[in-house]
Amino acid sequence: MQGFLLAKPMPKEQALSFLSDYRSTINENLNQQEHQVVLIVDDEENVLKSLKRLLRRDGYHIFTATNADEAFNVLAHQPVDVVISDQRMRNMQGLEFLSNVRSMYPDAARIVLTAYRNEENLTQAINESEVYRFLDKPWDDEVLRQTVRNSLRPRQESNLRPFT
């Protein structure tokens, strides 16, 4: 097998074994991803529907909430891998909500998706590890999908075998 896309060049028998192992690894990761849970918090129903439709393509189990109280109810009853929150909400600002999520559920990755940028607050939140990333509304679909994937990568990488 020639090339460096997946591995160094290798003889046919070694390549067949490698591809078999590679396929198993991909299938394991797809099965794991189907069990990963994303919680989207936004007070706009259309935003919730759009994000749910977008992320469902990647096989995540998705919960939605229109405010912090609903979100905390989901978090209390369901392990969540990623929380995506708007900054401006009725009963609690997104950064305050995500700060509370961090203290109560430290393993959940936290992403702010907002049309209202306060650079100082967002930078401080990132520097203090309150949030993993912040993204602007309107969002770029591929950037958002990649950000969610990257927020899960440390957990996924521990399940991957290195290529040789």
- For 87-100, how does the pLDDT look when each residue is reduced to its tens digit (9 = 90+)? 888 788 888 898 89
Percentage above 90 pLDDT, the chain: 44
Question: Is-above-0.85 flag for pTM?
Answer: no
With b for 16 or more beta-carbon neighbours within 10 A and e for fewer, the 91-127 pattern comes to ebbbbebbbbbbeebeebbbbbbbeeeeeebbeebee
Convert the pLDDT of each residue in 27-74 to its tens digit: 555 555 457 999 999 999 999 999 999 999 999 999 999 999 999 999
The CATH code for residues 31-154 is 3.40.50.2300
Q: Evaluate whether 79 touches 38 at the Cβ level (below 8 Å).
A: no
